[in-house]
Structure formats: structure tokens, C-alpha cells
Structure 1
Amino acid sequence: MDLTDPQQHGDVSIRLIRPKDARVLQHELMSNRSWLRPWEATSPDGPVSMDMRLGIRRLLQQYRDGNGIPYVMEWQGEVAGQLNVWGIARGSLASATIGYWVSERYAGRGITPTAVALATDVCFGEAGLHRMEICIRPENKASLRVVEKLGFRYEGLRRRYIHIDGDWRDHYAFALTREDVPDGVLARWAAGQAPRDAATIPPADRLPTP
């Protein structure tokens, strides 16, 4: 098995993004604008191109350079969204960050937690990484449920951390290390053994949400 092998659990699968995915991903992004805009990374320097073909070329170049792993998430073989492993650091850090989006019509089917578990297992296995992080806006309740289900550990509040939806936004940080899941994230979750309180945010860090 290598990083290009598709990974699947039930109806959910992840695979490396391909140039021919551009059309369907562009359609999903444009038809889900109101659903995705509050969580999309933006640039303080101005508008970013929505050219999916160019975006995929850049993602695949990052993959070839060893800096990321760009996945497509699928439900029963249909494209449901994207999951990107980005910011891969080697050597003494051996870590990366996960980001993702899913189309609104596929929400609530367990696609994202399953895909995150699959991708994290690949990163701890074939990719040889030690630590995986997910950073989430306090307002993003759906994403907070993902880390709660999988037992990602809460590690702190990052003020004005990422430029999202036109401004610098606060994020909660969650992480797992390889030692946390010796048998894999997916196996632990499927067995009902993910710690229920690992992602609990302490009162001192909780920010007001709408």
C-alpha cells in the first residue's frame, strides 16, 4: 500500500485528487457557496482565484514536493467534497494539519469523520507522520462534532489564527499523536473506544457563538 491507494470504509472512500476532478469539484463549490463560505480560507491580500483546474495542479505539485496529500472524499463513488493534508513537516516535527469541506447534500452521513479517520491512519502509517492537527472555528459546530467523535485531543485556543471568510478568525486546535491510536483512528472509533471528553473545551477558552 502507498499514499496513492484509495482508502474505504463502508460507503465512504478517499483517494488522491485527479485533474479530471476539476469540473465536478468546481460545480460543488459554486453550488454550495452559502454553505461553505463561512468556513473557507481567504487571503488578506484580496480575492483568490476559484479556478479549480489551477488549484488541483497546485495541490498535486505540493504532493509531489512532499508538502501535502490532497484527497477527494466520496460517498458511494460520488464526489462529496475534499480533504487536504497540508503543511507536512518532516524530521523532528513529523506533523501535518487536516482541512476539509463536504457538500451540503451529503452532510450528516458520517462522511467527514470517516474520511478524517482514514486520512489520519494513512498519515500515521504510510506517510510516517507522528502528529496530526485539526483547527476549527468556534462557530463550526459540525466540525467540532467530528473531533469529538474521533477523540482528537483539545490543545488550545489560537487567536486570529487563519484568514477565513474575509477576516482573521479564532480557532480551537485539536490533535492526535501516533501513540494515542496504536491500532488506528478508524478502528478505535468503530470499536466505540474513542474518549468522549478528549475534545472538551475548558470554560476559560470557550468563546461565544451565535
Structure 2
Amino acid sequence: MRRHNVDWLTKWEPSRVPGSPDAVEDRQAFVARCAARARETQLGIGHGFGIFVDGYFAGEINVNAIQRGPFQNAYVGYWIDERRAGRGYVPESLVLVARYAFEDLLLHRVQVAIIPRNTASRRVAEKLGLRNEGTAERYLEINGAWEDHVRYAITAEEWTVRRDELLTAWAY
């Protein structure tokens, strides 16, 4: 799936560390990536989920960099197979992950950072009514260049108010 979507995804994803193996092309690197994800889950600092459409793997959504203490924050990242894009699977997945983050992980804040020109991904955040918190300049290195990102967020208080509306519209 990732190999099929390389051109579609490379323009949006953080650069791989130079010299590190490619988990798409290198089986051992993929196994190591899976083990690292399992360890993140054990440590409570990250959770990954597959997006499945009609029983087939179509993408991934992750709760990353979970911070506890006074921040109680996480970042969400996602990708979808280009052939499945624009059909509502990502907004649905993001609502379900938000429910998990707020109701199971008991986080206070969930953030999504999106390259400004990624209009499809920005549309996801805007459809769900995530708050636009402005642009972080040169935020992440993407495909060899430091890219600005628009930061969107939702807090536990906002989730409580909008929970039923979001779940009814996107998940039920």
C-alpha cells in the first residue's frame, strides 16, 4: 500500500533520517518500525490504528507524542490510500481517534499540523470544526524542505460540547 502511494504521500510526510533504512522497501526496517510502534503503545506515548474500508487496509491514523503532566496533549497524524481519498474515511477516523484520546486516554488536547497547501487534509480539520491556531513557520522537514504547518486543535471541553454531533455526523 505504501509503495503504491509513494508519490501521493512523500510531499506531505516528514523526511526520513538520512542513512536510515526505508520501512517501505526494507522488510527488517518495517519489522523494526512495528516493534517501535508496539513499544510506544506499551509506554503510553503513541497509538497506531489502521483505516480499513470494506475489510481492506486503506490507511493509517496515529496518536503520537503523548505528553502527560500539565500538558495532557497528543498529535494526530494520518494518511489514506489515494484511491480512497475524499470519501470521508479520514474525518470518520479522526473523530473516532478523538473519542479514544479524550475518553480512553483522558487527554486534554489533540492537535493536527498540516502543510498549508495540503487542502484536502485542511478540509478534514475544517469539516470537523477543529480550531485553527495559526501557522507554525518551518515546523517540520518534509521531503527535504522545512515546511510551514497550520496547527489545528480541539480540547476536552470542546469535545464534550461537540461529541454527539461529531459522532452522529461521522461515526454512526
TM over 0.5: yes
> Alpha carbons of 1:118 and 1:83: their partners in 2 closer, same or farther (altered >3 Å)?
same
Amino acid at match of 1:46: P
Q: Structure 2: where are the runs of 5+ without partners?
A: 24-29
Q: 2:9 aligns with which of 6, 27, 36?
A: 36
Give the conservation status (yes or no) of the 8 Å contact 2:95–2:167. no
**1:49 maps onto 2:16 in alignment:** no
2:166 counterpart (189, 192, 203): 189
Q: How does 1:10-25 map to 2 (within 5 A)?
A: none
Alignment match, 2:108: 130
Whether 1:84 and 2:62 are equivalent positions in the alignment is: yes
C-alpha distance in 2 between matches for 1:54 and 1:64: 15
Q: Which amino acid aligns with 2:140?
A: I
For the structure 1 residues 169 and 64, does the alpha-carbon distance in structure 2 shift closer, same or farther, using more than 3 Å as the test? same
Q: What is the match of residue 84 of structure 2?
A: 106
Letter of the 1:176 counterpart: I
Partner SS for 1:30: coil
Aligned equivalents of 1:117 and 1:190: distance in 2? 7
Given that 1:98 and 1:134 are in contact with CA atoms closer than 8 Å, whether structure 2 keeps it comes out as yes
In the TM superposition, what is the alpha-carbon distance from 1:50 to its structure 2 partner?
A: 2.2
- Length-normalised TM-score, structure 1: 0.74
- Secondary structure in 2 matching 1:29: coil
Aligned-partner Cα distance in 2 for 1:191–1:59: 30
Please give the root-mean-square deviation of Cα atoms over the aligned residues, in Å: 1.5
Give the Cα separation in 2 of the matches to 1:127 and 1:83: 16
2:121 maps to 143
Shift of residue 181 of structure 1? 1.9
2:40 maps to 62
For 1:133 and 1:41, locate their aligned partners in 2 and report how far apart those are by CA, in whole Å: 16
Amino acid at match of 1:161: Y
Q: CA deviation at 1:40?
A: 1.4
**Quick check: 1:181–1:188 contact (8 Å CA) kept in 2?**
no
Match of 2:18, as an amino acid? G
Q: Measured at CA, do residues 85 and 190 of structure 1 come closer, stay the same or move farther in structure 2, by a change above 3 Å?
A: closer
Identity %: 34
> What TM-score results when the alignment is normalised by the length of structure 2?
0.89
1:131-164 CA deviation, whole Å, 9 max, x = no partner? 0000000010110010011110011110101111
1:183 positional shift: 5.4
Unaligned runs of 5+ in 1: 1-27, 193-210
